[in-house]
Amino acid sequence: MLASITTASGQLRLPEPATAPAAPRAGDEFTELPAPGDTASADADLSLTPAQRPVGGEPPGIVRLASPAPIALADEPAGMVRMSSPPAMLHDGFFFLSTHRSPQTARDGLRFCPVVTRYDNCGPFCGSSFDELRSQIVPGIPVCIYVHGSFVDMASACKESVETWRWLKNAGCGQQMQMIYVYWPSYKPLRLTVQCDVNQLGRQAARNGFYLADLINCLPVDCPICLMGHSHGTRVIASGLHLLSGGSVQGMQHLSARSNGRRIRAVFVASALDHDWLNPGHKYDRALCGVECLLNMKNSRDKALKVYPLRLPLIARRAAGQYGFSNKDRYRMGYNGCKIYEYDATDIVGREHLWPYYFSSPQLGMVVRNYVYFSDASAGHTATTSTQPLMISEQSDLVTHQ
């Protein structure tokens, strides 16, 4: 008994499986295979398609039929393509990554041991893992990694991380972005030996640059990355970028982390970094080699940065976050000096140094917008190493139409 399937081209009858080959019947569209040694039949077999030709080792009388073409359903529009698996969903929130379990002293070596929690929109922090972080990062969508400064405890970091995420989301005007807040052990109570504490925390910030390089190395290569830091957080970033370009920090190199053509932009806010440390031959002279551009947000009235040169040793230079990079610095940097853009936030922030005074300003959010979202590239203004993203004064039309 024959089973039949009605298709658009007519009725096709298929034989039911049998234990022994049956003689062909009228109307059955099978191709007779040549008998062994039958030359004439073998020549005729050359006209068969590869899918119809017999496979060696199969008994006579068995014909391999070509796979049927997929049948379009009547209710599917023409040109519709079915996806084999749904795309990754963008996480509506951010990840909070702590390096407090990673060794912080030279005698303990270097070992990246991140502790990760997750913040969901309108919800509390919940437990997570580094594997979940890696699986939730959607390739192709920009990732903003924010690094805080010194004297920040865990409770303050958790609160400020939520406000930072909302600040960046509001500046995005509906664009997509993924954020990772990096918390490094930077808290010390203020005391009379604050100069020594600042020096120690500066060295610890540089050490955490190794762990930042590890984190960057674990992200998808096609994710544009914005590295944003405040105060000593910029030293973490400068150290990490220096390592990614093959430099050494505290006498050590990172053997596995490399920038490898990643799209990286950096934002320094109230940077507690000597203004000449990016110059050739200085501490982080390779930091700008792997970045498209750097936004340095300076404040000449910053009360904390005014005493920055007074730390030990007393020959310390002024901070890049106070007056910016000098013309001599840019000249010595050469080509890398053209990657730097400086924005004066003095009139907005005044004498304050703390991070909340920056993320509470929507105007400053619009200043950093294109560094975080890479939106100038989507608008047809792809940034190169010699051009800067559109700034607030240049993107008014762009903001109006989005």
C-alpha 75 chain-centroid distance: 39
pLDDT at 315: 62
* Among the listed residues 131, 160, 137, the one whose alpha carbon sits nearest the alpha carbon of residue 147: 160
Q: How far apart are CA 198 and CA 289, in angstroms?
A: 28
Burial environment of residue 337 by CB neighbours within 10 A (0 to 12, 13 to 18, 19 or more): middle
In this prediction, residues 280-297 reach a mean pLDDT of: 96
- Per-residue pLDDT, 12: 47
DSSP structural state of residue 24: P
Cis preceding linkage at 185, omega within 30? no
Identify which of 26, 7, 198, 204 has the alpha carbon closest to the alpha carbon of residue 100: 204
- Return the CATH fold of 138-390: Rossmann fold (3.40.50)
SS3 183: strand
Confidence of residue 240 (pLDDT cuts 50, 70, 90): very high
Task: Count CA atoms closer than 13 A to 302's CA, side-chain side.
Answer: 30
pLDDT of residue 96: 98
Q: Which amino acid is at 51?
A: A
- Half-sphere exposure for 398 (CA within 13 Å, toward CB): 22
The residue among 8 and 141 whose pLDDT is bigger is 141
Distance, CA of 208 to CA of 234 (rounded, Å): 11
- Comparison of pLDDT for 30 and 203, the residue scoring more: 203
How far, CA to CA in Å, does 375 sit from each of 172, 224, 287, 294? 9, 11, 23, 16
Predicted confidence band of residue 340 (pLDDT cuts 50, 70, 90): very high
Cβ-in-10-Å burial (0-12, 13-18, 19+) of 8 comes to: exposed
Banded model confidence at residue 193, pLDDT cuts 50, 70, 90? confident
- Residue 81 confidence (pLDDT): 39
Split at pLDDT 50, 70, 90, the class of 51 is very low
- CA gyration radius for the chain? 31
Cα 121 from Cα 108, distance rounded (Å): 37
State yes or no: pLDDT of 154 exceeds 90: yes
Q: How confident is the model at residue 241 (pLDDT cuts 50, 70, 90)?
A: very high
Assess whether pLDDT exceeds 70 at residue 142.
yes
* Helix (H), strand (E) at residue 240: helix 233-244
Report which of 34, 134, 145 is spatially closest to residue 91, judged by C-alpha positions: 134
Q: Which has the closest alpha carbon to 102: 182, 14, 190?
A: 182
**The pLDDT of residue 312:** 58
Is residue 212 within 8 Å of residue 143, measured between CB atoms? no
Q: For the whole model, what pTM was predicted? A: 0.74
| Contact status, residue 110 vs residue 210, Cβ threshold 8 Å | yes
Higher pLDDT, 16 or 207: 207
Mean pLDDT of the chain, nearest integer? 79
pLDDT of 80 reads: 41
pLDDT digits (tens, 9 = 90+) for 198-237: 889 999 999 999 999 999 999 999 999 999 999 999 999 9
The sign of the torsion formed by the CA atoms of 324, 328, 333, 334 equals positive
Alpha helices in 22-86 (DSSP H): 39-45
Indicate the range of 85-89, 159-163, 255-259 predicted with least confidence. 85-89
pLDDT more than 90, % of the chain: 59
Domain residue limits, the chain? 138-390
Are 346 and 358 contacting, i.e. CB atoms less than 8 angstroms apart? Answer: no
Return d(Cα 402, Cα 400) in angstroms, integer.
Answer: 6
pLDDT at 40: 44
Mean pLDDT, range 23-42, rounded to an integer: 46
Helix (H), strand (E) at residue 36 = none
- Check residue 49 and give its pLDDT: 47
